[in-house]
Amino acid sequence: MVRVSSGGALREVAGSFIGTAREDGNDVSTTPETIRDIVHSAIAALNEELSEGERIEPRGTTRLIGPRGNLSSLQVVNLVIHVEDGIAERVGVQLDLTVDEGLFKPEGPLQTVDTFIGYLTRAISVANG
Tell me which residue of 43, 100, 102, 48 sits closest to 76, measured CA to CA. Answer: 43
By CB atoms closer than 10 A (0-12, 13-18, 19+), residue 51 is exposed
Give strand pairing partners of 63: 112
Number of domains, the chain: 1
Q: What are the angstrom distances between the C-alpha of 7 and each of 17, 23, 24, 69, 98?
A: 17, 6, 9, 37, 20
Domain containing residue 64:
2-127
**pLDDT digit string (tens) for 21-55?**
445 544 445 788 899 999 999 999 999 999 999 99
Predicted TM-score (pTM) of the model is 0.78
What mean pLDDT is predicted for residues 54-60?
A: 94
